[in-house]
Amino acid sequence: MNAMVPHDLNVDLHMHSTASDGTVAPGDLVDRAASNGLQIMALTDHDTLDGLPRARQAAADHGIRFMNGVEISVSWGGETLHMVGLDFDADHPGLVAQLKQVSVSRFERGRAMDAGLVASGLPSVFDEAMAYAGNPNLLGRAHFARALVARGVCSHMQAVFDRYLTPGHPGYVAHEWTSLAKAMALVHEAGGFTVLAHPARYRINATAHWALLQEFMSLGGRAIEVATGSHSQDETRRYQRLSVEMGLMASRGSDFHCPKESRYDVGQAPVLPCGTWPVWAGYAERFGLTAGVAGH
């Protein structure tokens, strides 16, 4: 491993704002990250680029190095997976058009989710969910979960997901997202690179998991998330080894959504273990951040 690989930089390449299902506005999120000492960041809202201009401006004000980001929902082998795109042109027409379609389909899915909840005997919370969605273009399950907690239907978000919003429950609506191949191609065409988000979270068997990584690599995928707020410590260790075995770079992110809900604050993402190849390795130099620690 390169002795100057900057493992010790404070990097967070996965976080959400009110542009998707986070509760902190993009500018405030960056202020929060700055007070936690963040040096390199990407805002990666679900299926939208709407928060990027404000976050980019706030990052510039604080001297934080900023990459455009997005966490795209994709369908693969009957499962929903998340693929993070980084450092792309946020004005790329193909990418912008694709995400616009997702916005419409999320709204329609929200209507169907609400109908399912009403059919199970709950009151309609569609309007409340829309009010929780800071961005009307990006309605998600977390907004319904917050609305149902506010109504007192459940005491916390996890319970709402477990009882209402996951497969087999009344508010869950199976949804066909864009394909992995198409989502990756759009990010690559827009000049960016792709990272498979929280690979330990997918409920697929070992064979499918292997096939997923092979397909991701053959489509030009660069990295997997190793250190993420969505992994346990054991999972982080497992994916550290896997990234080395497969020659994939490793990413790091808090997956922060909300001060009350999230395990890791923005700018306090779990640390990437030594012996990995950080996805920001080439950026540290370009950004003028060369605080590498010898021996990593």
Give the nearer residue to ligand AMP in terms of CB position, either 171 or 267: 171
Nearest to 112 by CA among 170, 179, 54: 170
> Considering the complex, what minimum distance in angstroms separates the CB of residue 142 from ligand AMP?
4
User: What length does the chain have?
Assistant: 296
Q: Which residues bind ligand AMP (CB under 6 A)?
A: 21, 46, 73, 140-142, 157-158, 161, 257
Q: Cα 216 to the chain's mean position, in Å?
A: 17
d(CA 50, CA 73) in angstroms, rounded, equals 16
Distances from the Cα of 136 to the Cα of 18, 20, 54, 131, angstroms: 10, 9, 17, 8
Strand pairing partners for 69? 86
Give the nearer residue to Mn ion in terms of CB position, either 21 or 87: 21
56 binds, among Mn ion, ligand AMP, none (CB under 5 to 8 A by kind): none
- Evaluated on CA atoms 258, 95, 92, 282, the torsion sign reads positive
Return the residue of 10, 13, 21, 135 that touches Mn ion, per CB under 5 A.
21
Using left for φ > 0, alpha for ψ between -120 and 50, and beta otherwise, residue 48 falls in beta
Nearest to 194 by CA among 213, 211, 216, 178: 216
The H or E element containing residue 166 is: none
> Considering the complex, what minimum distance in angstroms separates the CB of residue 293 from ligand AMP?
33
Give the nearer residue to ligand AMP in terms of CB position, either 99 or 142: 142
Query: Interaction with Mn ion in 255-274: which residues (CB under 5 A)?
Result: 255
Q: What is the contact mask toward Mn ion in residues 56 to 75, using x (rule: CB under 5 A)?
A: ---------------x----
The H or E element containing residue 181 is: helix 180-189
Would you count residue 12 as binding Mn ion (CB under 5 A)? Answer: no
> Considering the complex, what minimum distance in angstroms separates the CB of residue 275 from ligand AMP?
29
Give the nearer residue to Mn ion in terms of CB position, either 15 or 284: 15
End-to-end CA distance of the chain: 7
161 binds, among Mn ion, ligand AMP, none (CB under 5 to 8 A by kind): ligand AMP
> Considering the complex, what minimum distance in angstroms separates the CB of residue 46 from Mn ion?
6
Q: Which of these segments, 28-36, 81-89, 217-225, 236-244, binds Mn ion (CB under 5 A)?
A: 81-89
Give the nearer residue to ligand AMP in terms of CB position, either 253 or 278: 253
Q: Which residues bind Mn ion (CB under 5 A)?
A: 21, 71, 82, 197, 255
